[in-house]
Structure 1
Amino acid sequence: MDLVAEELQFLSITDILKESISIPKQSPKTFYLVTLTLIFPLSFAILAHSLFTHPILSQLESDPTAASSDWSKLLVFQFFYLIFLFAFSLLSTAAVVFTVASLYTSKPVSFSSSIAAIPSVFKRLFITFLWVSLSMVAYNIVFLGFLVLLIVALDTQNVFLFLFSLVIVFLMFLVVHVYTSALWHLASVVSVLEPLYGFAAMKKSYELLKGKTGMGFVLVFGYLAICGVINMLFGSIVVHGGDDYGVLTRIMVGGVLVGLLVMVNLVGLLVQSVFYYVCKSYHHQGIDKSALYDHLGGYLGEYVPLKSSIQMENLDA
């Protein structure tokens, strides 16, 4: 697709997906290694997590008075799982966003250069993640409050309170949760490509989403829905399907689902990178090579100022 930056604002969702899928072709070895070392472990952990917790949870459900060692195992496993998930999620984001930015500035990229750039942006990503986490905590508190109201309405048979709580719960999940996720994804790209992080990155993400909120909503909702379906299939067939499916079938299905999630996560990271450029173009905000050079640790090579915005026709690795 030969498009200059000024034309990015006119890309449709289909165009964004096509552009995102085509990006790895510009540097296949780099994306292969990033996928193998960062995105695959992340995707595998997301799905395999339930394989390890299911036996422990089954034991606790069957015996509520189980030894404290079972609870300790569960809590320790959950703690290390969340740390692993958090770390590889940030590492994958940093590596993919940096690689895409390098390609968009027509600079040669490699796996080593992408990995080398991570330390310079990890702190900003981490702080932004903390701010998003605080937002999600506030959201979850309000969400749980309305869930309690919903339960109370069921017990008291209060039709008005039930319908009101149901609508609020639905809107909070469908609108607030998805919108917050869109802000988070865009803020992550901002944290990598600009000298902004934390609340400032969230604010910049909010400004960039203006005018493209509907597109961002559809992209994030589609990503979450596909991940949800993959997780549901993995849980029903691989984790809980022991009585209905043979071991070989479960292994094969599990392998296919892990592969699918790897591709979905890779495309998701590519989409959020391209969507960032689309939003910048929509608001007529140029992106020059100097900004990337200054804020990605100087790994883009020899410094030569770029007078115009990023040109997508020069995606040569």
Structure 2
Amino acid sequence: MDLPPEELQFLSIQDVLKESISIPKHSPKTFYLITITLIFPLSFAILAHSLFTHPILSQLQSEPTGSHAASSEWSMLLTFQFCYLIFLFALSLLSTAAVVFTVASLYTSKPVSFSSTMAAIPSVFKRLFITFLWVSLTMVVYNIVFLGFLVLLIIAVDTRNVVLFIFSIMVVFLLFLVVHVYISALWHLASVVSVLEPVYGFAAMKKSYELLKGKIGMGFVLVFGYLAICGVINGLFGSIVVHGGEDYFVFSRIMVGGFLVGVLVIVNLVGLLVQSVFYYVCKSYHHQGIDKSALYDHLGGYLGEYVPLKSSVQMENMDV
């Protein structure tokens, strides 16, 4: 993040990745502790989820429907799923808050430490959680609309024409994927906005929508790439570690599982760094300068010394 703010808009996807990967070297101890305490448990939970649910699902398939044993297994599965989602979302928001706060502190030359990051998280978490609720509501509405269109498609299209039916389904799912990735990009950007600007919730989503204009292509590629890599890692973990069975030795499955967890940790860390850098790229593209002194004070507000963040100024008027 040593580039002048007005030059950040010209970064390519490769430059964003390179810049993101280089950030931890400026405070290796802080990022190491964040990774160990937050990102590693998050990554492990994502992959280990199927490892714990697979035996329960297998047991359910072998139990007669409606039996007492099946009811008990369903209760266990639903309880586990509920606890898992709470744990996953909490760690996801905590990891986002920690990385975005640390990157912003480095950007403003604010002293960085693991303790200061942890001290700032409670205030940041509340803002991120409200934004997350709005994004979740958007996702729910979108999925309901998508299911409605899917039902109408099945009713309207002649299912006897197999080629037309398959083509229609593919088009609908392609549109679903595109919109899903776009909403995910909005969410990631809104998360950074919620930490670095005095807005959150719906206002943060609106702000991220404005910032994403002109950089939709870059945002789409970054988010789709992240989701695709995570999907491949989950697929390999499921096929080898969870469902490997007798095809792989226990030691081999443990080694592969550990390796995939490590890869996912790196992917998640880089993903969080990328979303922070992408925020500055979007701000630069729209010539919305970041007053570093105001941002410095804003970050200090999370530690109990709040000073309202000044409005953005034009690049040409910003004192770098």
Q: TM-score, normalised by structure 1?
A: 0.91
- The amino acid of 1:244's aligned partner reads D
Distance (Å, rounded) in 2 between the aligned partners of 1:120 and 1:62: 47
What's the RMSD between the two structures over aligned residues? 2.4
- Identify the match of residue 268 of structure 2 among 265, 284, 291: 265
Q: Is the Cα–Cα contact under 8 Å of residues 20 and 270 in structure 1 kept in the other structure?
A: yes
Q: State the percentage of identical aligned residues.
A: 79
Kept in 1, the 8 Å contact 2:298–2:306? The answer is no
Paired position in structure 1 for 2:122: 119
Task: Provide the C-alpha distance between the structure 1 equivalents of 2:319 and 2:193, rounded to a whole number of angstroms.
Answer: 16
Give the structure 1 partner of residue 174 of structure 2. 170
Write the letter of the residue equivalent to 2:173. V
- TM-superposed CA distance for 1:161, in Å, is 5.2
Q: Report the counterpart of residue 76 of structure 1 in structure 2.
A: 79
If asked which structure has higher relative contact order (CA below 8 Å, sep 6+), I would say 1
Q: Is residue 230–residue 261 contact of structure 1 (8 Å, CA) maintained in 2?
A: yes
The worse-fitting range, judged by mean Cα deviation, of 140-149 and 26-35 is: 140-149
Determine the structure 2 residue equivalent to 1:232. 235
Cα displacement (A) at 1:50: 0.5
* 1:293 to partner: Cα distance: 1.9
SS at 2:282 equivalent: helix
Equivalent runs, 1:1-317 vs 2, <5 Å = 2-65=2-65, 66=67, 67=69, 68-148=71-151, 156-158=159-161, 160=164, 162-173=166-177, 175-288=178-291, 289-294=293-298, 297-299=301-303
Structure 1 residue ranges (4+ consecutive) displaced by more than 6 angstroms after TM superposition: 300-303, 305-308
- 1:143–1:169 CA contact under 8 A, matched in 2: no
Contact 1:121/1:296 (<8 A) preserved: no
Residue in structure 2 matched with residue 315 of structure 1 by the alignment: none
Specify whether residues 302 and 193 from structure 1 end up closer, same or farther in structure 2 by C-alpha distance, changes over 3 A only: closer
Question: Retained in 1: the 8 A contact 2:101–2:299?
Answer: no
Report the CA distance between 1:162 and its aligned residue.
4.7
User: Structure 2: which 5+ residue stretches go unaligned?
Assistant: none
Q: Give the drift of 1:3.
A: 1.3
Q: How many pairs does the alignment contain?
A: 309
Cα deviation digits, residues 88-117 of structure 1 (max 9, x gap) = 000000000000000000122000001111
Q: Is the 8 A contact 1:103 1:109 kept in 2?
A: yes
Which region of structure 1 is more displaced relative to structure 2, 115-124 or 44-53? 115-124
TM-score of the pair, normalised by structure 2: 0.90
Structure 1, unpaired ranges of 5+: 312-317
**Contact 1:287 / 1:310 at 8 angstroms: preserved in 2?**
no
Could you tell me how far apart the structure 2 residues matched to 1:309 and 1:177 are?
36
Shift of 1:298: 4.9
1:163 CA drift (Å): 3.0
Alpha-carbon distance, 1:295 to partner: 5.3
Contact 1:149 1:165 in 2 (8 A): no
1:110-167 deviations in Å (ceiling 9; x for gaps): 0000111111111110110000001111121123334445666798324545533431
Change (3 A) 1:30 1:58: same
Q: Provide the rounded CA distance (Å) in 2 between the counterparts of 1:125 and 1:310.
A: 30
Quick one: distance in 2 between partners of 1:204 and 1:105?
22
| CA distance 1:295–1:27, shift in 2 (3 Å) | closer
